[in-house]
Structure 1
Amino acid sequence: MPVFSPVDLSGDHHIHTKLCNHASGEMEDYVRAAVSRGLQSMTFLEHLECGLIYEQQIWLTPELFAQYFEEGFRLKKKYAGQIEVQLGVEIGWNALAADELRATLARFPFEHRGLSCHFYFDGSRHLNMLSSRQEHIDALIEVGADKVLEAYFASLIEACGEIPCDKLCHLDAALRHLPNIRLTARHQAQISQLLELLRGKNIALEVNTSGYAVRPAPYPGAEIIRRAAAMGIALIPGSDAHHPEQVGRHFEQIRQLLSP
């Protein structure tokens, strides 16, 4: 039996654009990049966040999602026969805004739903757990890395039970810019609970190649991918591209990693 489940690397299923306000490039730039790399399919996975106390909007409003679908439908038609273009969403879980999240999800015909959690609420504001901004890193260190990670995994566990989704995104990416980050026995137990939820609800695990820009492994790492594959959980690749040239990045490394 192979160590890893087969994964289809003919498509990149986690792509952002300038619409999220922290990436660059038009939607069509990404489609052209995917076609030039010989991909057969691609999925835009634009950010949906609700109820955050945060200094910058780095997600799409309903008005921007309307623009997103208008342009996306145009691109689907224009590039039909060259590449399959899917219009998805990366849902940032916030339990205090669950109803608003559900309302927005019901408003648009998202073809693919990725679930994630980017923010930790410290009682007065939301701190970005995946940010490289030193201000946020320092604030999260003050809270305590173990406490933040426990809250992060607990949020993902909660989200998997509350929001219908197709995959869980970059499972172990929280605090990725913190030096010497470690997962405790408690965190490992939470990851095991998450994997059981994925299997029970038929939710795929994303293999996010943006990890290679920070460490010599994707998100999540090989050990978690191995456990998921052994449990029969599907694996879906995504580059988490924020620039057109990042489409399909590090897919060859994933091919090598996932080889039997």
Structure 2
Amino acid sequence: MKFDLHTHHFRCGHADGNISDYIEAGIAAGLSVIGISDHTPYFGSKEDQAHPRIAMAKSAFAGYVEEVLSLKQKYAGKIDVLLGIESDYFPEHVEIYRDILSQYPFDYVIGSVHSVKDVSIFNKNRWKRLSTEEQIADKEAYYELIRNSARSGMFQILGHIDAMKGNYPAFSDIPATAAIDETLQVIADHKVAIEINTSGKTKLSGGWYPADSILERALHYGVEVTFGSDAHIPSRVGDEWDDVAARLREIGFDHWVYFKNKQKVSVPL
């Protein structure tokens, strides 16, 4: 049984296609379940669309939910369409996000950290002229945010937990093993899943998030895993699903999960 819980569409301003395009791509890819999970609006600002190339407008949010729910009905019997959302974790705005997201019938919410110290994790210039100690501090700050996102209780899934390597592959070599292990333990304790996200191939790092070494430790700590292509074009829906499943079996996982009505559904590998 194939599923993909991480897809976007035009509302976020940096993806192509309508929601139905991604659903049709999911059917073509042999998926049984597809989750639509575009970026939330930036609720920390009074502006309707504070970041038009990053996140949808507040005024588009209710329409997004309504469209997904309508398409869920339209495609019933062909593919199970799930209502998801990808939400940034901003410590200073947690309660605003919690309140707004609780008002809608999401099947799941993906919590992702996209900025550390107010700089995008994908900004490779952030690493210029940093000492080893400063690099370690930034990496540890990233994982502290991920730990706190797991503790928040807002999310069923944590997105791309080593994506800071995306445009700076050397990130993986910055020593912070203790921070990663602590993070995996916290994720396990709070029963949040992590995604294997295959969009790393679209960045300088290549491959997927997280690295095999993190997945091996995730298994050790009892962290459950799910799948997300993080597709921003319909042709990437389900991308590398079979390869990820095979690698997880090699590592020692015997199942992965998805979420419906915020309840975990286990799928054998």
Aligned to 1:74: 70
Q: In the alignment, what sits opposite 1:145? A: 135
Q: 2:181 aligns with which of 178, 182, 192?
A: 192
In the alignment, does 2:44 pair up with 1:51? yes
Unaligned runs of 5+ in 2: 251-269
- Paired position in structure 2 for 1:201: 190
TM-score, normalization: structure 2? 0.82
Residues 119-158 of structure 1 mapped to structure 2, 5 A cutoff: 119-121=115-117, 126-130=118-122, 136-142=123-129, 144-158=134-148
Letter in structure 1 aligned against 2:71: L
Quote the residue 1:169 is aligned against. Answer: 159
Q: 1 CA distance for matches of 2:224 and 2:170?
A: 30
CA displacement, residues 139-163 of structure 1 (integer Å, 9 cap, x when unaligned): 4535653332221111111121124
- CA deviations on 1:25-56 (whole Å, 9 max, x unpaired) are 00000000000111000111121244379764
Q: 1:115 aligns with which of 82, 98, 111?
A: 111
Question: 1 CA distance for matches of 2:21 and 2:229?
Answer: 15
Give yes or no for the alignment of 1:20 onto 2:12.
Answer: yes
In the alignment, which residue of structure 2 is the partner of 1:4? none
For residues 110 and 145 of structure 1, what CA distance do their matches in structure 2 show? Answer: 37
Q: Which has the higher contact order (CA 8 A, sep 6+)?
A: 1
In 2, the alpha carbon distance for the partners of 1:232 and 1:175 equals 24
**1:259 pairs with 2:246:** no
Between 1:99-108 and 1:76-85, the stretch displaced more is: 99-108
TM-score w.r.t. structure 1 length?
0.85
| Residue 231 of structure 1 pairs with residue 221 of structure 2 | yes
User: SS of 2:128's equivalent?
Assistant: helix
Secondary structure of 2:164's counterpart equals: coil
- 1:29 equivalenced with 2:18 (yes/no): no
2:199 aligned partner: 210
User: Any conservation in 1 of the 2:43–2:58 contact (CA below 8 Å)?
Assistant: no
Q: Secondary structure at the match of 1:109?
A: coil
**Any stretches of 5+ residues in structure 1 without a counterpart?**
1-8, 131-135
Larger deviation, residues 161-170 vs 27-36: 161-170
Report if the CA contact (8 A) 1:50-1:94 is conserved: no
Number of equivalences = 242
Query: C-alpha distance in 1, partners of 2:244/2:169?
Result: 24
The answer to whether the Cα contact below 8 Å between 2:12 and 2:52 also exists between their aligned partners in 1 is no
Return the letter of the residue paired with 2:75.
Answer: Y
1:103-135 Cα distance to aligned partner (Å, 9 max, x none): 2212222111111110123xxxx32113xxxxx
Moved beyond 4 Å, runs of 4+: 52-57
Distance 1:61 1:129 in 2: 22
Distance 1:204 1:78 in 2: 29
Q: Note the alpha carbon deviations across 1:202-249, whole angstroms, 9 max, x for none.
A: 111111111234445320011111121233322101100000001011
Question: What's the counterpart of residue 101 of structure 2?
Answer: 105
Deviates more, 1:106-115 or 1:211-220: 211-220
Q: CA deviation at 1:201?
A: 1.2
Alpha carbons of structure 1 residues 141 and 56: separation in structure 2 relative to 1, 3 Å: farther
Query: Distance in 2 between the 1:66 and 1:55 partners?
Result: 18
